[in-house]
Amino acid sequence: MTAIEEPRTLVLDAEEARRARNARLEKVGRWVLPVVIMLAAIFMWDRICVWNEIPKYILPRPGVVLDTLIADAGLLFSSLLVTLRITFFSLVLAAVGGVGLAILFTQSKWVEMSLFPFAIVLQVTPIVAIFPLINIYVDNQTAKLLLCSWIVAFFPILSNTTLGLNSVDRNLIDLFRLNGATRWQQLWHLRLPAAMPYFLGGLKIAGGLSLIGAVVAEFVAGAAGQSSGLASRIIEAGYRLNAPRLFAALFLISLTGILIFLVLTLVSHLILRSWHESAVRQEG
């Protein structure tokens, strides 16, 4: 069930042979195709810059961006570290806060009914609009950014986990009751495992959002004061018409987003692979 075996000694009819060939092609194409298209796009970008003689302060050639990335590596990577730290901690806080609130919600319908509107209000109000208030109430720069990024990231975890904790098979709940399970046992042995796929789905969304939150917060805060994350580098480069550095910073942010997504997908796959339909490889 792990890999598709090469059908060496098998005699296949035409249809099966075609199916096997298509499966092999698809396996290779899945990786090769995006890479080829990406390389072609970068090549076209380079050509367009050359053909139209676009100055590098408007649209730098890819090679220039790469040179800048290497030349400014010290500056850019220390900024990346700042942004990463905010992203990571806000994601951790979002996971802890989201799951904690979701557990609180499932302990009592009343709590859920009372508090859920607040969570929605926090979610639907654009963070950029809330930030000036946070700026007034919170002094510490890191705390500001964390709070901002947390507000953006925690909601998908909260709503998904709440849904998951409430989506337990009724019969399994009856079974736990029949066996005299305590609330704690029911939560630990039944509700939390059942909510795991939902939580991980929320976490995947929250991973991207916490990066967006961290960058947006820094944008708004950077305009108001000192900061040294990637967003401030972008603003700064924008003011100085340093387009190559702007692109380099942008590239790092995208790369970070992709990495976060891949890591969370991997984590999700590792946790669910033994039992959940979403992570089970289709056979036959």
Partner 1 sequence: MSSANGLVQQQVEADPLLMLRGIGKTFSNGTTALRDADMTIREGDFLSLLGPSGCGKSTALRIIAGLLSPTSGVLDWRKTLDRDSVGFVFQEPTLMPWANVFENVWLPLRLRGVSRAKAAPAVHELLERVRLTGFEKAMPRELSGGMKMRVSIARGLVTKPRLLLMDEPFAALDEITRFRLNNDLLGLWQDERFTVVFVTHSVFESVFLSNRIVVMAARPGRVFEELAVDAPYPRDEKFRTSPDYAALCRQASDVLVDAINATATDVRA
Mark residues 204-243: x for contact with partner 1 by CB under 8 A, - for none: ----------------------------------------
Closest CA to 87 of 198, 206, 199: 206
| CA 113 to each of CA 90, 118, 121, 159: distance values in angstroms, whole numbers, following the listed order | 26, 10, 14, 13
Does residue 280 touch partner 1 according to CB under 8 A? yes
Read out DSSP for 30-42? Answer: HHHHHHHHHHHHH
Return the number of the residue (69 or 168) whose C-beta is nearest partner 1. 168
Q: Of these, 43, 118, 137, 275, which contacts partner 1 (CB under 8 A)?
A: 275
Give the whole-angstrom CA distance, residue 84 versus residue 283. Answer: 39
Does residue 190 touch partner 1 according to CB under 8 A? yes
Return the number of the residue (2 or 171) whose C-beta is nearest partner 1. 171
Give the whole-angstrom CA distance, residue 108 versus residue 64. Answer: 58
Give the whole-angstrom CA distance, residue 160 versus residue 208. Answer: 15
Does residue 178 touch partner 1 according to CB under 8 A? yes
Return the number of the residue (202 or 244) whose C-beta is nearest partner 1. 202
Return the number of the residue (8 or 281) whose C-beta is nearest partner 1. 281
Contact 207, 91 (CB under 8 A): yes
Does residue 22 touch partner 1 according to CB under 8 A? no
Q: Which residues contact partner 1 (rule: CB under 8 A)? A: 169, 171-172, 174-181, 185, 189-190, 193-194, 196, 274-277, 280
